[in-house]
């Protein structure tokens, strides 16, 4: 059994203290151990970042971008290797892992544009012989805490942009599936990143608290559950840190009577059951406008949910792999049981699935509920598993009210051929990311990702233009060079033009 290590100051190092098991979800077997960083190890990473910062911040943006160009090339060359590690430790299919990596690489591509995005703003002659400009300067040492469900993509939302902006970054990935994250960081070192600019430290709440409490860490990025997002936001902001903390979701898809139902069903299958539902952008509620739409949707979904190809994630041609842990599988099964007890109609039951040759794996088939109502826990809470709930309403307005009343506002979509309905939905829905006939409206890298309400704590979304603003601070400079022959009297009033 191998031991996964920290990456600090360009070297692999280990803790002599606590460790955690890393499982292969397809077999249920422990395959690695990962150290849980002590406060001393966290401080070691902080010290290396602090020492590397002065030289890195003064490295020209074009040279920082050159590192990112080489990094992108190495990621593409190592796609199969990275995807294999993701699948082995997370459980998602190889195709899904490769797709995750590609979306992460898009953010590296955006970081390659550093000379453009960091140009600043300049105004000449704002007053007599006076010029003014804004400069975007790095914060210093910043940190990111990332979830298990996207061990490649979500870290790539954070540190490429933070680093190309001139910061030094400390990454605390999920301890459940850390191998791909560590490999990707090593590839960035291979691309020419100086030692100390990026460190990877594994750990649990103790490591998170150490990063929150360290005065040298100026900003924290987080993606995970809402309770932890709220905790990190509260604890870090009261210490004067910048925070962007992305939390949970309950994403609704609205199906109008005029929707292209066959295309909507295909989209819902991937959005609800892809990656075993372990996505913050997964569609977990289908809101059908009218019983006729709901009946037709159920009739088309049932055979497809029952026919899902499920097996070890590292096998080819599958729709779903296992959930990440036995605890995750049991939690989702508990939600299914509770939905039945609350009176929802369980149309397809995914519990009790056994995969031949992988009987100890953490598998669960797709489940489908009909006639779910807003007071049920399976509607209100994020299940984070392969469960789709169908809710029936009588109008688009009722569907929108349902979504706007929910505490989460991460993503949503509408399936319709009606431009007026789509425009109303986009204008009035209180959700951060909206799709029209697009089930997973994840913004491309040159936009920004983030929800509303209790899906985001902080003022700025992740990556894209908001990411640049988050990882830099504006300095406004006003400069005057009087002509030698002139002499002006002192001014005691507030200066103006």
Strand pairing category for 168-172 and 198-200: parallel
Unique residue bearing structure tokens 């033009």: 497
Burial degree of 4 (CB within 10 A; 0-12, 13-18, 19+): buried
Q: Are residues 165 and 53 in contact, defined by beta-carbon separation less than 8 angstroms?
A: no
Alpha helices for 142-281 (secondary structure H): 153-164, 179-190, 205-213, 226-237, 261-273
Give the closest residue to 278 by CA, choosing from 466, 89, 405, 452. 89
CA angle at 132 for the pair 128 and 135, rounded to the nearest 5° = 170
Active-site residue, from 112, 165, 276, 280: 280
DSSP 175: S
Q: Are residues 75 and 187 in contact, defined by beta-carbon separation less than 8 angstroms?
A: yes
Q: Are residues 240 and 212 in contact, defined by beta-carbon separation less than 8 angstroms?
A: no
Exposure string of 269-293, with b = 16+ CB inside 10 Å and e = fewer, is bebbbbbbbbbbbbbbbbbbbeeeb
Active site residue 280: yes
DSSP 480: E
Give the closest residue to 22 by CA, choosing from 39, 35, 11. 35
355 forms beta bridges with: none
CA angle at 247 for the pair 241 and 253, rounded to the nearest 5° = 145
Q: Are residues 363 and 297 in contact, defined by beta-carbon separation less than 8 angstroms?
A: no
- Classified as helix, coil or strand, 23 is strand
Other C-beta atoms closer than 10 Å to the C-beta of 306 total 14
CA angle at 261 for the pair 260 and 264, rounded to the nearest 5° = 90
Q: Are residues 198 and 8 in contact, defined by beta-carbon separation less than 8 angstroms?
A: no
**CA 15, CA 213: separation in Å to the nearest integer?**
20
**CA 323, CA 327: separation in Å to the nearest integer?**
9
Other C-beta atoms closer than 10 Å to the C-beta of 48 total 22
**CA 301, CA 265: separation in Å to the nearest integer?**
7
User: Which residues are known to be catalytic?
Assistant: 280
């Amino acid at each position: 059994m191998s031991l996964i290590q920290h990456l600090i100051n360009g070297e692999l190092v280990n803790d002599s203290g606590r460790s955690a098991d890393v499982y292969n979800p397809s077999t249920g077997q422990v395959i690695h151990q990962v150290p849980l960083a002590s406060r001393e190890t966290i401080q070691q990473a902080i010290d290396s970042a602090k020492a590397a910062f002065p030289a890195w911040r003064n490295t020209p943006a074009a040279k920082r971008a050159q590192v990112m160009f080489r990094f992108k090339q190495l990621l593409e060359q190592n796609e199969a290797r990275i995807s294999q590690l993701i699948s082995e430790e997370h459980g998602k299919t190889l195709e899904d892992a490769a797709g995750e990596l590609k979306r992460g690489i898009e953010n590296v591509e955006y970081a390659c544009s550093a000379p453009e995005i960091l140009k600043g703003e300049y105004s000449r002659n704002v007053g007599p012989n006076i010029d003014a400009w804004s400069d975007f300067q790095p914060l210093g040492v910043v940190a990111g805490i990332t979830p298990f469900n996207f061990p490649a993509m979500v870290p790539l939302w954070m540190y490429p942009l933070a680093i190309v902006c001139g910061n030094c970054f400390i990454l605390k990935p999920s301890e459940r599936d850390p191998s791909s994250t560590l490999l990707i960081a090593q590839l960035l070192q291979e691309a020419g990143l100086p030692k100390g600019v990026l460190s990877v430290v594994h750990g649990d709440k103790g490591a998170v608290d150490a990063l929150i409490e360290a005065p040298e860490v100026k900003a924290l990025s987080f993606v995970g559950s809402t309770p932890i997002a709220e905790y990190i936001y509260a604890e870090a902001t009261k210490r004067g840190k910048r925070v962007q903390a992305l939390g949970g979701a309950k994403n609704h898809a609205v199906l109008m009577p005029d929707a292209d139902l066959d295309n909507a069903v295909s989209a819902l299958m991937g959005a609800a059951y892809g990656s075993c539902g372990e996505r913050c952008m997964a569609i977990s509620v289908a809101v059908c406008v009218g019983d006729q739409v709901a009946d037709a949707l159920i009739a088309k979904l049932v055979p497809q949910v029952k026919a899902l190809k499920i097996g070890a994630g590292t096998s080819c041609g599958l729709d779903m792999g296992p959930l990440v842990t036995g605890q995750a599988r049991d939690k989702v099964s508990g939600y299914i049981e509770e939905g039945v007890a609350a009176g929802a109609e369980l149309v397809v039951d995914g519990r009790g699935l056994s995969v031949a040759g992988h009987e100890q794996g953490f598998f669960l088939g797709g489940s489908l509920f009909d006639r779910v109502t807003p007071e049920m826990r399976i509607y209100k809470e994020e299940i984070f598993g392969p469960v789709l709930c169908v809710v029936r309403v009588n109008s688009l307005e009722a569907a929108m009210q349902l979504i706007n009343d929910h505490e989460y506002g991460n993503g949503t979509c509408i399936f319709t051929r009606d431009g007026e309905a789509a425009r109303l939905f986009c204008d009035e829905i209180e959700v951060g990311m909206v799709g029209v006939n697009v089930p997973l409206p994840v913004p491309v890298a040159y936009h920004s990702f983030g929800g509303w309400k209790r899906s985001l704590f902080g003022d700025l979304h992740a990556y894209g233009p908001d990411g640049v603003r988050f990882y830099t601070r504006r300095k406004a400079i006003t400069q005057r060079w009087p002509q030698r022959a002139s002499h002006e009297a002192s001014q005691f009033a507030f200066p103006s033009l």
